[in-house]
Structure 1
Amino acid sequence: HDKREALLDIYRKLRPGDPVTEEGARALILAQLYDNRRYDLARVGRYKLNKKLGLNLPLDVRTVTKEDFVAIIEYLLKLERGEGEVDEIDHLKNKRVRAVGELLQSQLRNGFLRMEKVAKERMTSMDPDQIMPQVILAIKPVAAAIKSFFGSSQLSQFMDQTNPLSELTHKRRLSALGPGGLTRQSATLEVRDVHDSHYGRICPIETPEGPNIGLISQLAIYARVNEFGFIETPYRKVVNGKATDEIVYLTAEEEEQYRIAPGDTPLLEDGTIAEEFVQVRHRANEANRYPVIRREEVELMDVSPVQLVSVATALIPFLESDDAARALMGANMQKQAVPLLRSSAPIVKTGLERRAAMDSGALVIARRNGVVTKVTAEEIVVRTEDGDLDIYPLLNTMQSNQSTCITQKPIVNRGDRVRAGQVIADGPCSDHGELALGKNVLVCFVPWGGYNYEDAILISQRLVRDDVYSSIHIERYEVEARDTKLGPEEITRDIPNVGEDALKDLDEHGIIRIGAQVQPEDILVGKVQPKGQSELSAEERLIIAIFGKKAEETRDVSLRLPHGEKGKVIDVKVFSRFRYRCKVCGHIHHFSKRPEDKPECERCEGELERISADDLPPGVNMLVRVYVAQKRKIMEGDKMAGRHGNKGVISKILPEEDMPFLP
């Protein structure tokens, strides 16, 4: 065939039914393969093509070349003859991690393309003399693309902040779901399964139990993602049977050529492998992937025996003795632990507790060497060796995303010397810089009158009384004062048909004071709404007609504490459209509607000046947030678990005298 016929033939196959022209065919192929706007291999695509086809083209050649076509056809012919190998789809060399930057980049691209389309339309329809850049370039499509990505994408998730470990593992999560990925229904068993290339890269244990099993996984402890998105794991170099301190990071593809000894291979003091013959992993050896070879032939060695598992799994002691399904439950349930009032580090540790707590970001760590000069619940001040002051602010009873309590407690005293990198304040679920998710309690395995049948648990009254398993939870309640058709809503202490007793903890504006103990149905923020004429009875309307306005023209729509909740008010935040500052005492006043006459300061009767408004949604004049903390004790129906998947529900709390006891 000549070139023209080939072009037309390809066009017919790509666009069956369309009228065929030589120019159209040429334009289509150029656009499909050589136009950077339409077609881009990216650096990683070129890297993979080079690797697969044995080419050596530069990484910035991001379209398909003649050399590629020749090599591809050659490879396909080899496959037909039974030479070469078909790609294994589940191998990690054929999978890559798309990080947030790349996902956002594709969203931005869509936004810019939409913006370009709008700009072109406007340029053709507008008078050239009156064209202004700000009129042509609509920023809305780009802003909408970013907002939709962070607001509603399946991969943009509300962080799991139950405890520091759940936060850390959520940030290290890998998902096969989402745009451009699989769906739960289409995912086969092979995709979900553990593959031998996961070793040291993806944890074989930690994954959800439900329909997402195997689709959502976790980065292994030492794994990292390289510039192309492939997961790498570290190995120690072994030279002439001696393990060196040199570390190399390898992808799943690079690792196949090497003979790798396990991490717990016995070594002599100088690093030489103790035994003359060692069993190694060698994936390229099809006949025997786990051969026994002489120590001089070993090329690499694992850096640690925990290299193949994730952070949560590595926190399980004696993991090697656990059944895999139970280890999975143990790893997942540590992420559900609620931070307790007083944390205590486990007696039986794995050694990773300190590192996990530090890397979670929950602790406060000294930046420089120095001496502690001040310690309060709000901050720690350290005077450094240079004479500077390092100030470390502490978080105090802050609400997490899961309504658990985030509090940082100092563990140093005034006058203590601290080193850079030392833990100076504990966070939630940490004890002197170590991750402390639970308590060390005495456990007895014995049948007890059927009360602990089927994984039920009996606990002593002492655990409740001494607050061993008590935790603090913080709930947020908010109320808005809006403009309505009948007039603005008002946040006030003057609430109709409410006795003085119900208002005792409200300030002059009708907002509850910090420190007040609240019960169900207590008023948190007093709010009244104008009543419509239709809501009034005939008699009330007659009285208004005769005497003018009456006092009872508003109805009570106050924010009250819901049923079943109680606790202590720990914080109140007020945002307002009408903010004023007193010129005399500097106090800031918030109003829920525009003041009618010139307002005065209620504290010192000074003059008020208006200051900039808070950023509120349209129609909202004032927003009040009230944070209520409650102490919850352990009770029947709560779940308790160990680190080995040994979980159960509390069926009964026994008096101390009924508990079994040690001889």
Structure 2
Amino acid sequence: MAQVRKRLSLAKNKFEFPFPDFFEAHHRSYNWFLEEGIKNLLAGVNPIKDSLEKMWSLELLDYYFKEPEYTLNEALEYDLTYSRPMFVKAKLTNLKDNEVKTQDVYFMDVPVLTEQGHFVINGVVRTVRHQMVRSEGVIFQEEKNPLLVSAGEVNKIVSRLIPARGAWYMFDVNKKNVITIRLIRQRVKILVTTLLRALKGYSNQQITDLFKTVDPGGKYIKATLDHDRTTSKEEAIMDIYAKLRPNEVATYDRANRYVRGFFFDSRRFFMGPVGRYQLNQKLGSSFKKPKIYTKDLIAILRHLILVNEGKEPTDDVDSLMARRVKSVGEILFEVANDAMTRFERNVKDRMSRLGNEKGVMPASLMNTKTISAQLESFFSMSQLSKFMEQQNIFGQIEELRRLTAKGPGGLQTKNAGFSVRDVHFSHYSRICPVTSPEGINAGLVTHFAVYARLNKFGFVEAPFRKLQSEVKNSEKLLVNKILREDIEVGKTKLEKGTFIDAKIAKVIAKAKLEVVAVYPFLTNDVEYFSYHDERGKYISMYSSPHDDYGNYLPGIVTSRHDGDYHLESSEKIQYVDVHGWQVGSLGLALIPFADRTYSFRAMMGSNMQRQSLPLVFPEAPYVATGVEREIAKQSGMALYAEHDGTVEYADANYIVMKYKEGEKKEYRLQNFFRTNDNTVMTQRVLVTPGEKVKKGDLLVDGPSMDQGELALGRNVLVAVLSYDGYNYEDGFVVSEKIVQNDMFSTVQLKLHSQDLRETKTGPEILTSDIPGLNYKLLRNLTAEGIVRTGSVVRGGDILAGIISQKAEKQLSPEEALLHAVFGESAKEVKNNSLRMPYGSEGIIVKTQILSREDGYKLPAGVLRRVKVWVSELKRVDYGDKFAGYYGDKGTVSAILHVEDMPYLADGTPVDVVITPLLVKRMNMGILYQMYFSTLAKEAGEMLEVPNFEDLDQVEIDKLLAKVGVEKLEKQELYDGRTGEPLQNKVAVGWRYFLRLKHIAADKMHARSTGPYSVVTQQPVGGKAQLGGMRFGEMEVWALEAHGVPYTLQEILTIKSDDIRGRTQAYKSIIQGDPIKMVNIPESFHVLVKELNSLGIKVELLKGEREEAAEELIREEARADDDEVIPMSENKEVVVADEPPVDEVNMKEEE
């Protein structure tokens, strides 16, 4: 039996706030889509009528789902989509004779969101990212114009009205104080007075009265009315229509419908619930329906005048008040809504073609393929649908907590400026200020903070612990509080700042007071705030000083108020952070002493944890932060006993538990499951049959897990030392013990598959009988033609024998005789076999053949699909990449014998030697981790040290006393090669290291000949294409600097794009002859063609060398073919004596 590991916490504050469900935002949003979103989709098109609205009417009344056709595991194994079919109850009414037909019609397949928050699409695990977008509503901001500022003028204030659906509107004030409105997409400006007159028929006086409280002098409204030529509602409507549709003549009714449709037609302009909420918050209105009202437009104009007059502040567009998050449900709703528009149009087209037929059923009008196709296209190609990152279990969780500002309706990488990428004060405890990619996506892809959650409108909320500064006058409640004001009870006078013990509490309780003012003290009440709700509150840090009873002592503390940091009296504090690590993401929360590390290095450490490979023998860190336990629990890979009970059966595939309540439960386990990143997910059983367990005990550990905690790496003994240049440029010197003991070994599991298709010459065949191949290549194949499980395979080996017939041709008499004698076996076949990729090796762990005949769903034209899983144990080797938690990454530069490694005075050799430069980069966290891990190891404890937290010095002193030292410091270290002590003492201790996914063996590549680019005829690039070395401009400079012209000439010609020369060189190598000649490279011919395209004629003049080369080629051709080179009719060829190759070279040199 294994219990979840208990750790000794060194934190001063012991308040424990429960972690949120890391997948809650995905599940809640997806459930909204199923329950409300689809209902809104159907309501948005009901009823669908024909174009004349006189013949047919189709209503989609209700919907329901059926169970998935396949299980989750079957979808993963057989390359299927894990989805549920949705049916709608459709009612078709013939409006001519009132004939009604009702039918349940298949509508679409809706992909199912799994418990871990991802989808399975065509057998591939995918996820939909949260999208950070500009919130619907209204914003007031400066329209920054550098030309105005340089001229000494003030930037003008504009207001943008942003709906959920429809065009944006901008309210603008020009230099003459005239207010106009225009569509963002159009340049036509409309006077706001004209618009108000068109919507409500207001007169000039009525319009002036609407704004007299904010514009008493008529500075803006009078200036606008002076430019307004309309006097009635009809004139205003026709004037607006003429500006928007200048080339059309329309009646008043048509113009009225058109103008009012801009705001009041929900299909063209829809504010949505979020936009309505934002308008209510900003303008002080209280409308409920998610649409725009004329009163909203008036309120926007009033606020715009106040902002221009400096009486109201502008909005911060980068604040989280103006930005919100779209989750999977809302994104799917938008995709499906676009598809519903097409669906409605298709139904109307079919109605128009149908006429007045009898007995028409709803299914004949409904083509629902467009909806399923739209959803499938979204999951396959959208920027928001991502290939699930599955390097390890932590990477899976962090992938689901990512936010992106890109995607449809979002920002573009090229156009995103610094302000939208920068950390904003409103991000505090909501979006991690550290964890973000490096490069072009910096600041555009971010992560939720640990405790962040989304409210129903998509605004990010953070939790804060409430402080209370008043208590009821009760003896029980007053004890251990501090008075905030003087109190007189009879003759007793109690001064401000008095600590209330039980005796004083009795005295105060006798006073005729309902409440007593005390200094703020901590309560267990926690409230969640969006940034809008947070404004105006004084919030202090988690580590702010308070006594053992939670009282904030009289004095000055650091507080946040409206985005600014102040030193305030403790009396003003209203809330405090719930935990130190709430400021950052899970990745940051996993780094002990992150607060003592340069933020850029912490960012690298946070990102590299997701790149860590799952080890065969993982180990939890000696010093953790406390988040590891929760990540392991919510990953879904660890299993816990649900009640007290007994283990009835346990093996690698499943466990049977019998609980005391009499319930039997079977747990199926994942065993050697391949992930998207070719890593292996395997659950390890920790219990044995007959074992008694208690509720909450650990039954199964998952990958990258140790005793119920996240374990991404291993603890190793590290020396911070410059070691003969081997750790130059962040190289790591490691002991061969790490390799021999498989401390950082990992298993890769790759899938190789190939489809057998129907070709023009017949079907492809799976067979082990492939003519013309060496027996060694076929030795691992079964009679069916697929490789045996357990076989060891290397690059080029056949995994599945696949052949197809070659096209028939005219047979020679000899071939016809062979066909007559041997039949089918004499036919020519093409070898299309599935082979092991070049440079790879491994062991076959599983094979599978999917066939249409067996009922499997395969793409059109595919008869069978062959799948082969190959595993490989990856041990540590030179060039492999390692990293710590602090951005201290590097590659293995040397693997030394254990006896050659530096060792301590007691003979203990170190495992890794790292360069002191890693610590020099403002990385004090490395030393803190090293010494605290050493203290934990020596004391036999596993420590918990949350970051951004004050440590308990009393507990640290107890540990030091247990170890028997006063402090930890540098130690004497001895050179393993000489046995001599090193010149200076060295920092030595235990550190936690990760092995990253960058494996040198996977990148290693060599080529003799291979494919060439069609245009340049240079070798293609990359290992996957069997490419050659890319020799660029700077590499040429390097060889020139070393004075090796012939080597350089060889690299740029016969090793690259000298077509004739490389052919001759290859032939010379095969035949053992010296390489004779170098010709003009193809890149020169490409240059000539480029010059020709510019109108420049370039002629190549042949010298002696070129003529000699051509003659040499002719003679070789004659020798090979015994044929005379054909001569042109109009040219005479003179063959001269060929000088020896050495003479040609000598002449060239002279």
TM-score, L = length of structure 2: 0.53
Superposed, 1:13-52 pairs within 5 Å as 13-19=243-249, 21-52=251-282
Deviation of 1:237 (Å): 1.3
Superposed, 1:27-176 pairs within 5 Å as 27-58=257-288, 61-129=289-357, 132-176=361-405
For residues 94-126 of structure 1, give each alpha carbon's deviation from its aligned partner in whole angstroms, at most 9, with x where no partner exists: 100011111111111111111111222222233
CA distance in 1, matches of 2:280, 2:258: 26
- Contact kept? 1:200, 1:220, Cα under 8 Å: yes
Aligned residues: 623
SS in 2 for 1:52: helix
- Contact kept? 1:533, 1:541, Cα under 8 Å: no
Aligned counterpart, 1:373: 648
The residue type paired with residue 343 of structure 2 is: M
Aligned counterpart, 1:538: 812
Aligned counterpart, 1:2: 232
For residues 515-546 of structure 1, give each alpha carbon's deviation from its aligned partner in whole angstroms, at most 9, with x where no partner exists: 22223333222222223223x87355322564
For residues 272-299 of structure 1, give each alpha carbon's deviation from its aligned partner in whole angstroms, at most 9, with x where no partner exists: 2245443321118xxx74241233x322
For residues 423-448 of structure 1, give each alpha carbon's deviation from its aligned partner in whole angstroms, at most 9, with x where no partner exists: 32111111111111111111222222
Aligned counterpart, 1:293: 569
CA distance in 1, matches of 2:601, 2:283: 44
Q: CA, structure 1 residues 26+418, in 2 after alignment: closer, same or farther (shift >3 Å)?
A: farther
- Contact kept? 2:451, 2:463, Cα under 8 Å: yes
For residues 397-416 of structure 1, give each alpha carbon's deviation from its aligned partner in whole angstroms, at most 9, with x where no partner exists: 11110001111111223333
For residues 124-153 of structure 1, give each alpha carbon's deviation from its aligned partner in whole angstroms, at most 9, with x where no partner exists: 233331655333222122122111111100
Aligned counterpart, 2:160: none
The residue type paired with residue 542 of structure 1 is: A
Provide the alpha-carbon RMSD of the alignment.
2.0
Superposed, 1:383-394 pairs within 5 Å as 383-394=658-669
The residue type paired with residue 783 of structure 2 is: E
Aligned counterpart, 1:582: none
SS in 2 for 1:509: coil
Q: CA, structure 1 residues 11+649, in 2 after alignment: closer, same or farther (shift >3 Å)?
A: same
For residues 316-345 of structure 1, give each alpha carbon's deviation from its aligned partner in whole angstroms, at most 9, with x where no partner exists: 110111001111111011111011110001
Query: Which one of the candidate residues 174, 184, 192 is aligned to 2:413?
Result: 184
Aligned counterpart, 1:516: 791
- Contact kept? 1:160, 1:170, Cα under 8 Å: yes
CA distance in 1, matches of 2:645, 2:849: 39
CA distance in 1, matches of 2:249, 2:639: 70
Query: Which one of the candidate residues 586, 592, 604 is aligned to 1:311?
Result: 586
Superposed, 1:261-280 pairs within 5 Å as 261-280=540-559
Superposed, 1:264-663 pairs within 5 Å as 264-283=543-562, 289-295=565-571, 297-498=572-773, 502-534=777-809, 538=812, 541-544=815-818, 546-547=820-821, 549-553=823-827, 554-579=829-854, 613-663=855-905
Greater CA drift, 478-487 or 319-328 = 478-487
Q: CA, structure 1 residues 395+546, in 2 after alignment: closer, same or farther (shift >3 Å)?
A: closer
Query: Which one of the candidate residues 431, 434, 439 is aligned to 1:205?
Result: 434
CA distance in 2, matches of 1:460, 1:467: 12
For residues 51-94 of structure 1, give each alpha carbon's deviation from its aligned partner in whole angstroms, at most 9, with x where no partner exists: 00011112xx1221132122112111211221111111000011
CA distance in 2, matches of 1:238, 1:466: 53
The residue type paired with residue 430 of structure 2 is: R
Q: Higher helix proportion, which one?
A: 2
For residues 558-591 of structure 1, give each alpha carbon's deviation from its aligned partner in whole angstroms, at most 9, with x where no partner exists: 2222222111111112211223xxxxxxxxxxxx
SS in 2 for 1:157: strand
The residue type paired with residue 108 of structure 1 is: A
Deviation of 1:21 (Å): 4.3
- Contact kept? 2:544, 2:558, Cα under 8 Å: no
Q: CA, structure 1 residues 400+325, in 2 after alignment: closer, same or farther (shift >3 Å)?
A: same
Query: Which one of the candidate residues 203, 210, 227 is aligned to 2:456?
Result: 227
Query: Which one of the candidate residues 219, 229, 241 is aligned to 1:11?
Result: 241
Given the alignment of the two structures, is residue 256 of structure 1 paired with residue 486 of structure 2, yes or no? Answer: no
CA distance in 2, matches of 1:658, 1:225: 56
Deviation of 1:256 (Å): 1.0
CA distance in 2, matches of 1:30, 1:98: 29
- Contact kept? 1:280, 1:293, Cα under 8 Å: no
- Contact kept? 1:520, 1:566, Cα under 8 Å: yes
The residue type paired with residue 375 of structure 2 is: I
For residues 487-519 of structure 1, give each alpha carbon's deviation from its aligned partner in whole angstroms, at most 9, with x where no partner exists: 222212333244655444433312222222223
Q: CA, structure 1 residues 421+176, in 2 after alignment: closer, same or farther (shift >3 Å)?
A: farther
- Contact kept? 1:577, 1:622, Cα under 8 Å: yes
CA distance in 1, matches of 2:324, 2:555: 38
- Contact kept? 1:404, 1:474, Cα under 8 Å: yes
The residue type paired with residue 657 of structure 1 is: E
Which runs of 5 or more residues in structure 1 are unaligned?
Answer: 580-612
Deviation of 1:270 (Å): 3.5
Deviation of 1:4 (Å): 1.8
- Contact kept? 2:553, 2:570, Cα under 8 Å: no
SS in 1 for 2:871: strand
CA distance in 2, matches of 1:442, 1:248: 44
Deviation of 1:657 (Å): 3.1
CA distance in 1, matches of 2:691, 2:774: 54
- Decide which structure has the larger Cα Rg and report it: 2
TM-score, L = length of structure 1: 0.90
CA distance in 1, matches of 2:876, 2:565: 52
- Contact kept? 2:731, 2:892, Cα under 8 Å: yes
Deviation of 1:486 (Å): 1.8
Greater CA drift, 141-150 or 487-496 = 487-496
CA distance in 1, matches of 2:321, 2:695: 40
CA distance in 2, matches of 1:28, 1:623: 57
SS in 2 for 1:36: coil
SS in 1 for 2:385: coil
Greater CA drift, 2-11 or 405-414 = 2-11
CA distance in 2, matches of 1:494, 1:460: 49
The residue type paired with residue 283 of structure 1 is: D
- Contact kept? 1:43, 1:62, Cα under 8 Å: yes
CA distance in 2, matches of 1:625, 1:548: 33
- Contact kept? 1:496, 1:552, Cα under 8 Å: no
- Contact kept? 1:235, 1:300, Cα under 8 Å: yes
- Contact kept? 1:282, 1:291, Cα under 8 Å: no
Deviation of 1:482 (Å): 1.9
Q: CA, structure 1 residues 275+459, in 2 after alignment: closer, same or farther (shift >3 Å)?
A: farther
- Contact kept? 1:491, 1:528, Cα under 8 Å: yes
Aligned counterpart, 2:149: none
Query: Which one of the candidate residues 525, 543, 551 is aligned to 1:246?
Result: 525
SS in 2 for 1:166: helix
Aligned counterpart, 2:425: 196
SS in 2 for 1:450: coil
CA distance in 2, matches of 1:281, 1:578: 68
- Contact kept? 1:40, 1:62, Cα under 8 Å: yes
